Chains A and B, each alone.
Chain A
Amino acid sequence: MREVTYEQIAEAVSRLCIEANVELGPDVVSALREAKSREKSTVADEVLSQLLQNAEIAASERVPMCQDTGMAVFLVELGQDCHIVGGSLYDAINEGIRKGYGEGYLRASIVGDPIHRKNTGDNTPGIVHVELVEGDACTIHMTAKGFGSENMSRLQMMKPSDGLEAVKAFVVETVRLAGPNACPPVVVGVGLGGNFELSAYLAKRALFRPIGERSKSPDAAELELALLEEINRIGLGPQGMGGRTTALDVHVEMYATHIAGLPVAVNINCHASRHKHVTL
């Protein structure tokens, strides 16, 4: 049994929060560059140039790339032979958020409850999903998820007879309805199968996969490419101002489902797709 301490986790989370918000991942930067080379529209080209310039300024000046520094969401792959000592995993993560968002001058965007809506002041609590895996390592994946795009996400409990074409139409329609609100070019996470809550979780988990990396499932990979092509035909373009790049990528995660159901969830990520991870 390997031990990982509360302090190690809090410190790592604090660093992830800051780094995710100021350093746009190399996968996103290269996807934006590639998109720019494909655009014929001058507005689209200009918007993509400004997004690339924005990412450079953020990284060099250590300023958040976007003022919505997000709700902090974590996917923890916890080895079953890893023992967390000194406090709870959840407390350690929230302490890391408190420290990272404070020291990084990141925006506190979380209200303590959805009715009275009083800001908690330190961006806690975060959202933590734990997956128990083999081994003795603890890998923490973090995303600073903005709500411009989160608000435009949708879930539909389809019927088996609706079929794959209806699933595709629902995904494309979701991106179209999101329009300029979701800060395109977007990354689209699709959760297909499972049940009501698992489909939404799969859609979120899909967003953690680097841009350009296809699903290991041939069916999901084929669906990803077909959806990407269809979405980019809408013509929404960067910031909804027209162009070829409405989405940088589509990631599909699938799971077994019930004979009576076909759940499909779409979680949209803006162009500032911020994902970082660390293994302790």
Chain B
Amino acid sequence: MTVKSLTLPLDQEKISELRAGDKVCLTGWMYTARDAAHKRMAEALEIGEPLPVDLAGQTIYYVGPTPARPGQVIGSAGPTTSSRMDPYTPALLREGLKGMIGKGSRSAAVKEEIVRNRAVYFAAIGGAGALIARTIREAQMVAHHDLGTEAIYRLYVERFPVIVVNDTVGGDLYEQSLRSGHE
């Protein structure tokens, strides 16, 4: 299987070329956010306040890492279940968010917004937190320090392995896998 290498932030033209099932290695800067950070971002947008970080063109990784040991950049850092972010995601896509990394399927509403905003949803391998952590070279806490593991971080990653689940033309890897059966 061929592996595409892409740099972050993602280029619109490159996103549009991606198809469900493509294996991709990501290099560059991304943000982290999970349940509590998403709730706060949604609340900010509701009352017309700016987001703590500009998401236009950016990628969010749904992760709540374990604490780093002294000398480590980050602890174990695999993806969390993306569907918990679904209620908040359409608003963030409308703010210009281009990429999301997590595990598990998305709601119909999110999939529609992915196509409408020409964004992409990637899956990282759930539970492979030790392996993924090796690709994370830098981690800077940028917002919501009080949320602990749920704070927003900016991560620099090198060859972070993901697989395209939802592409810009409505392709869905999970649906394709179930349709094709166990062979």
**Chain A residues proximal to chain B, CB less than 8 Å:** 40-43, 46-47, 50-51, 53-55, 57-58, 61, 63-69, 105-109, 117, 119, 121, 146, 148, 151, 179-181, 183, 232-237, 239-244, 246, 270-272
Contact of B81 among A40, A117, A151 (CB under 8 A): A151
Q: Contact at B130–A64, with CB atoms within 8 Å? A: yes
Contact of B131 among A53, A119, A183 (CB under 8 A): A53
Contact of A65 among B130, B177, B182 (CB under 8 A): B130
B1: chain A residues at CB < 8 Å are 42-43, 46
Q: Contact at B148–A108, with CB atoms within 8 Å? A: yes
Interface residue count for B (Cβ, 8 Å)? 44
Contacts A65-B127, A240-B104, A240-B174 hold; do A233 and B182 have CB atoms under 8 A apart?
yes
Q: Contact at B178–A105, with CB atoms within 8 Å? A: no
Q: Contact at A40–B129, with CB atoms within 8 Å? A: no
B173 within 8 A of A: yes
Task: Write the nearest CB–CB distance from B148 to chain A, whole angstroms.
Answer: 6
Chain B: CB-nearest residue to A146: B127
Chain A: CB-nearest residue to B177: A242
Instruction: Tell me whether chain A's interface is mostly helix, strand or loop, or mixed.
Output: loop
Q: Contact at A67–B174, with CB atoms within 8 Å? A: no
**Which 6 pairs from chain A and chain B are nearest by CB?**
A242-B177, A181-B104, A235-B182, A183-B126, A54-B131, A64-B76
Q: Contact at B182–A243, with CB atoms within 8 Å? A: yes
- How far is A236 from B161 in the complex, measured between Cα atoms in Å? 20
**Chain B residues proximal to chain A, CB less than 8 Å:** 1, 21, 23, 36, 63-69, 75-78, 80-81, 83, 103-105, 123, 125-131, 133-134, 148-149, 161, 163, 173-174, 176-178, 180-183
Beyond A105-B67, A237-B182, A240-B174, 15 extra complex contacts between A and B, CB < 8 Å: A43-B163, A46-B1, A55-B130, A64-B130, A67-B64, A108-B149, A179-B174, A239-B126, A240-B104, A241-B123, A241-B173, A241-B177, A242-B178, A270-B127, A272-B127
Contact of A57 among B80, B103, B131, B180 (CB under 8 A): B131
Task: Write the nearest CB–CB distance from B98 to chain A, whole angstroms.
Answer: 22
- How far is A110 from B81 in the complex, measured between Cα atoms in Å? 17
Q: Contact at B129–A67, with CB atoms within 8 Å? A: yes
B176: chain A residues at CB < 8 Å are 242
A240: chain B residues at CB < 8 Å are 104-105, 174, 177
Task: Write the nearest CB–CB distance from A18 to chain B, whole angstroms.
Answer: 12
- How far is A117 from B34 in the complex, measured between Cα atoms in Å? 14
- How far is A50 from B161 in the complex, measured between Cα atoms in Å? 10
A43: chain B residues at CB < 8 Å are 1, 21, 163
